[in-house]
Structure 1
Amino acid sequence: MVVLDGTIVSVALPSIQADLGYSPSGLAWVVNAYLVPFGGLLLLAGRVGDLAGRKRVFVTGLVLFTAASLLCGAATTPGLLLAARFLQGVGGAVTSAVTLGMVTALFPEPRERARAIGVYSFVQSAGGSTGLLAGGALTQALDWHWIFLVNLPVGVVASVLAVRMLRDDRRPGPGGRTDVLGSLLVTSALTLGVYAIVGTADHGWGSAHTLGSVGGALALFAGFAVRQARAADPLLPPRVLRSRRTAGALAAQALMVAGMFGFQFLTVLYLREVLHLDQVGTGLGVFPVSVVIGALSLTAAPRLIGRFGPERVLVPALVLIAAGLALLGRVPAHGAYATDVLPALFPLGTGFALAMPSLATLAMSTAAPGDSGIASGLFNTAQQVGAVFGLAVLSTLASSRTAGLLDGGGATDEALAGGYRLAFRVGTLFVLGALAVAVTVLRRRPADTAAERQEALVSECSHAR
């Protein structure tokens, strides 16, 4: 539900603009008001989950997200919708930050964990693609308010089930303290960084607004790093990022998502603006990716990861994603869906179905039980920052290229296709960057095998006791 909400709004934006009277720049903040708090609060929420209990944090975030969805659905003014979207972003961050940590805690045995992370990856990808289809269908059949109201029954049922079925994982006793200063520094840094990236569409990459915001974010990050080195109870314990597997997985995750998230939105625009499909047809056009991801995330991915290890599965997965984006980098102005788009969706879906659970497994593999919430928050933060950065870069490049071709006298369809081709090619470079990290930083070493054997032995002894 939370991932779906990041994409379901995109198809309904024209209807929201017509109904509430947003300006073009104001309309962008219907999306950005959700992304900014979502990206900024993930790390803090993950650490609070480690200290206060992941179940408690998860349910709190879920209730807040559901209530904010009701406010979004009832909004009748631009200001009210933006305020409700901000609350949605807060609730989404609080919920998402601890989810992966809960999954790894519930399934400590490596093969069970691989299957559980496969389901987690499927739900994430299905939510993103289903949002595009559901957004078009609900807006076309009813009106845009229903893209938010549809969250209510899901949120209520999920909250009740979470309270009844999830075990209480609060620490006995004081269990540590929250680093308040560190929390303020990193939350401000992430929020300002995300704000700078999403604002590039209006201000440009070289503007004083963007450079000032980026400079402020870097200064805050530097202050946060100094604070973590000195604090008695740091928000982000340095030991978490000392792990080669965790740090490499986070870097590869951000680069891969930068390419894949841009693919999702750019493909939708190509189908709408160049191939001239309607809203439902556009949603159906990208749906094969979810079908492939669903089929492989739940079956092949856990088996392959369990047999060969996440490092060996990750490399061919990223090669497939890069190949799919490279195919889209050839889309013509007068193309056909069946020959120019559909063939690229299968390697993209296959690659993502194998890459996402591999990266999640690597990112969480060295996290101690008391750090699983912060590791989960880091993984989601890398994903969110990669998505926002990738979308901002690729959409800016596509727009600039299209404008240049139009100024040169090119036809509209030719100019649009030229912009999307450039963006898809740059997205391919992002994924190739993730592949370079996988081949160098995340390559399998003998020490990793020994550590995995020790982990398996400890798990077997625990089950025996």
Structure 2
Amino acid sequence: MNKRAILAIILVSYVMIVLDTSVVLTGLPKIHLELGFSDSGLAWVQSAYTLTFGGFLLLAARAGDMIGRRRMLVAGLALFTLASLAIGAAATPAMLVAARAVQGLGAAILAPSTLALLQTTFTEAGERTRAVSLYSATAGIAASVGLVLGGVLAEWTSWRVGFLINLPIGMAMIWAALRYISDNPQQHASARFDLGGALASTAGMGALVYALIRSASTGWADALTQGTLVAGVLLLAAFVVIQRRVAAPIMPLRLFTSAPRAAAYAARVLFLGAMIGFFFFTTQYLQAVAGYPPSTTGLAFLPMTLMNFAVALQVPRLTRRIGNARLLAIGLAVCMVGMVWLSRVVPGSAYLTAVALPMVLIGAGQGMVLSPLTAAGIAGVGAADAGAASGVVNVAHQLGNALGLAVLVALAGASGLAQRVTTALSASSVFLLLALLLMAWPVSGKKVGIEVAQS
């Protein structure tokens, strides 16, 4: 087994997913003008991706456990790559939104496969810590790089290039996966599949994410928003009941019997809610208030990107010295201080002191947080449930993005943009504080660290 090649395939595949989540943000103004999107319709460029990504994650994750993770990885790569081609060639808003939805489905298949393969390939504690650290660093760094790349490409070439570059990368990863990764499904494909759970989870997650996305533009008083929210909650409640009764559940409830692991899932929702607020509202501030063009807006995130990268590389060493629990607590605290500082930005603030320096702290905090948080989410999980646990980690990730943005947009209200940025980033700081408290109580941080180390 060539573990280096497998790790490279996992990391590059995951970079594609994360990069395309953020690369579109700084390119949205160009997409708006070129394709003639309405103001409300433009949000669906991102929302269509989020909706299918979040809706199909649990189904795709468990399918990987049953029919083989290499098959799911290759299928996800193929679908994601073809959708990227369709996005790059889109001539109308409808074509672009439809292609983004298909791309989200490809990401839903691909994301849990990458983390599950990492978990089953790197079984020794030390090598798993290093692999998870690189995986988590990839998530944080790719998100920041996506903003830089999206802005530069949108201004200097075309926003389409950010998606078309997936073609050679995707084809290369499919070839590499077929050559270096062996399939090892935990059950035969003919095994009885949890169809009821699959339908309930997909429909429930889809309805919930749709309601959260819609609430950002229509408010919570909208009848359709309320109806889909209630439907989503009821379907997910039915899903939990189904999981208690079936022999081969799509999401084994035993994943939540570990208090540290359950706390890690909830903390991930809060952390990602804070970070989506940071990216979304800071990008708006830099372009609409500070007057930066797309390329400069992207480059303005470099202090965070560089610090994130530098700190993430030190995570294995820091983990050995102070443990996952302390590293996670320190990272959340540092990130929170940076977010509070950034929330004080006002029109006319100096970039260095009001934006760049807070970004350094946020980047350092993110570099410390994602690795132990990911490790805690898959700690102590057997190989048979690796895909399911990876799916829950990714569901928490997507719920954090969707729920966080919906809550922050609602809290920001309809005031002036500068005031909305202050309000949203202040609320993001509260999310980080709650995540910090959640990881300290009701379970001790030491317990989290021990469980991660023993996985």
Deviation at 1:256, TM superposition (A): 0.8
Deviation at 1:398? 2.9
Equivalents in 2 of 1:160, 1:9: separation in Å?
Answer: 27
Per-residue CA deviation, residues 313-358 of structure 1 (Å, 9 max, x unaligned), is 1111111111111001111211111110111112111111111101
Letter in structure 1 aligned against 2:418: A
Corresponding position of 2:334: 320
Structure label with greater radius of gyration: 1
2:138 to 106, 123, 127: 123
Partner of 2:11: none
TM-superposed CA distance for 1:400, in Å, is 2.2
Tell me, yes or no, if structure 1 residue 73 matches structure 2 residue 88.
yes
Question: Is the Cα contact below 8 Å between 1:44 and 1:235 reproduced in 2?
Answer: yes
Larger displacement relative to structure 2 (168-177 or 352-361): 168-177
Aligned to 1:340: 354
**8 Å Cα contact 1:318/1:431 also seen in 2:** yes
- Alignment pair present for 1:108 and 2:123: yes
Identify the range of structure 1 (70-79 vs 87-96) with the bigger mean alpha-carbon deviation: 70-79
Q: Structure 2 vs 1, CA of residues 437 and 172 (structure 1 numbering), >3 Å: closer, same or farther?
A: closer
Large movers: runs of 4+ above 6 Å: none
Are 1:375 and 2:389 counterparts?
Answer: yes
Matches of 1:447 and 1:373, distance apart in 2: 21
Instruction: Report the Cα offset of residue 19 of structure 1.
Output: 2.1
Structure 2: gaps spanning 5 or more residues: 1-15
Bigger drift between 170-179 and 304-313 goes to: 170-179
The AA in structure 2 aligned to 1:421 is: T
Change (3 A) 1:448 1:176: farther
Instruction: Measure the CA separation in 1 of the matches of 2:257 and 2:128.
Output: 23
Q: Deviations over 1:166-215 (max 9, x none)?
A: 23222365684320110000111111111011111221023222221111
Q: Which amino acid aligns with 1:342?
A: A
Residue type matched to 1:149 in 2? Answer: L
Question: Structure 1 residues 36 and 115 mapped into 2: Cα distance closer, same or farther (>3 Å)?
Answer: same
The aligned residue for residue 185 of structure 1 is 200
Contact residue 42 and residue 94 of structure 1 kept, 8 A: yes
Task: State the superposition RMSD in angstroms.
Answer: 1.8
Distance, in Å, in 2 between the alignment partners of 1:228 and 1:168 is: 26
Q: Which residue of structure 1 lines up, in the alignment, with residue 155 of structure 2?
A: 140
Q: CA deviation at 1:401?
A: 3.0
Any conservation in 1 of the 2:325–2:446 contact (CA below 8 Å)?
no
Q: How many residues align?
A: 440
In the alignment, the residues of structure 1 paired with residue 221 and residue 354 of structure 2 have an alpha-carbon distance, to the nearest angstrom, of 35
CA contact (8 A) 2:324 2:448 kept: no
Letter in 2 for 1:315: A
The answer on whether the counterparts of 2:376 and 2:452 sit within 8 Å (CA) in structure 1 is: no
User: Does the 8 Å contact 1:245/1:366 carry over to 2?
Assistant: no
The code of the aligned residue for 1:219 comes to: L
Instruction: Indicate which of 166, 174, 177 corresponds to 1:151.
Output: 166
TM-superposed CA distance for 1:10, in Å, is 1.6
1:118/1:302 contact within 8 Å kept: yes
CA distance in 2, matches of 1:48, 1:442: 32
Does 2:261 match 1:246? yes
Kept in 2, the 8 Å contact 1:319–1:351? The answer is yes
| Structure 2 residue aligned with 1:409 | none
* More deviation, 179-188/1-10: 1-10
Question: Match of 1:227?
Answer: 242
Alpha carbons 1:267, 1:286 under 8 Å: kept: no
Q: Pick one of 3, 13, 24 that aligns with 1:9.
A: 24
Q: Is 1:358 matched with 2:359?
A: no
Given that 2:255 and 2:389 are in contact with CA atoms closer than 8 Å, whether structure 1 keeps it comes out as: yes
Shift of 1:452: 7.1
- Aligned AA (1:361): A
Q: 2:308, 2:192 → 1: CA distance? A: 40
1:37 corresponds to 2:38:
no
Q: Which amino acid aligns with 2:239?
A: F
Query: Which amino acid in structure 1 is aligned with residue 276 of structure 2?
Result: F
Find the residue that maps to 1:376 and give its secondary structure: helix
Instruction: Name the TM-score, length of structure 1 as normaliser.
Output: 0.91
Secondary structure of 2:43's partner?
Answer: helix
TM-score normalised by length of structure 2: 0.93
Residue identity opposite 2:199 in structure 1: L
Q: 2:34 aligns with which of 13, 19, 42?
A: 19
